[in-house]
Structure formats: C-alpha cells, structure tokens
Amino acid sequence: MDTQHATVVGKSIGSDKMVVLGHINGEEVSPNAGNNHDNTQKQMQQGKFFKEITLLLQNATHLHATGTGQVQEQFLHYLAETAQFKNTKTEESTANRMSDERLVEFFEGKFN
C-alpha cells in the first residue's frame, strides 16, 4: 500500500489459496491556499481510503500491511481505533511496490 493505492490479498471464502481480493485507489487532494484546509482534507481523504480498504477485510483475524512509506503504520493505527478490528492481530513491514503476482507470493510466504 501507499498513500494512493492499496492491493488487498487474502484467502477467498472456501479456499486456502491466496488471491488478490481487490484494488483500492485513494483520491488526491488538490493543493489549496489554506494550509489548515489542506490538512483537514487530507485526513478526510485518508479516512475514506482506509474505510474502503476495510470493506474487503470484514472477517480478518490476522493482517499484515506492507508498503513503501509510513501509510501502513497509519492504517494499523486506524484499525486499532475501529471496534471491528480491535482484536485483529496486526503486523507491518516496509517493501517496494510489487506486482499482484509477487504480492500474492509474499503473503503466501507470510501466512502458510
């Protein structure tokens, strides 16, 4: 994941095989003159982005977030503050952007 894109990988219902469950694209915040407005808009967009990701994680009991920067850490903080995910085991790592196939392989190694 990065600040504008997330790929969700997991096991599909009724299968033990890891697959890409979905791609989520965040909206870019256009720069404005007011700094406070920019920060508020960025926070709102990030919250919306994170919420869209969680729609694909409805029954997650264990989650590993990886990405190119610090957004995965922010996402895990968001999850910790969300009642539905308070008991979800979470981990994070930093990694370069990967193709869907490589990402599936990465998570198969983590969870199998």
Confidence at residue 60, expressed as pLDDT on a 0 to 100 scale: 87
- Per-residue pLDDT at 59: 83
| CATH number of 12's domain | 3.30.420
In one-letter notation, the amino acid at residue 88 is T
19 phi and psi, to 5 degrees?
Answer: -145, 165
Contact indicator for 9, 104 with CB cutoff of 8 Å? yes
Alpha-carbon span 99 to 97, nearest angstrom = 7
Domain that holds residue 99: 5-111
* Overall pTM > 0.75: yes
Number of domains in the chain: 1
Identify the pLDDT of residue 34.
60
So what's the pLDDT on residue 107? 92
Q: Where does residue 99 rank: exposed (0-12), middle (13-18), buried (19+ CB within 10 A)?
A: exposed
Degrees, nearest 5: CA angle 2-27-67:
5
pLDDT at position 33 is: 54
Per-residue pLDDT of the chain (112 residues; tens, 9 = 90+): 998 999 999 988 788 889 999 999 988 766 665 677 778 888 889 999 999 999 999 888 899 999 988 899 999 999 999 999 988 999 999 999 999 999 999 999 888 7
46 within 8 A of 26, measured Cβ to Cβ: yes
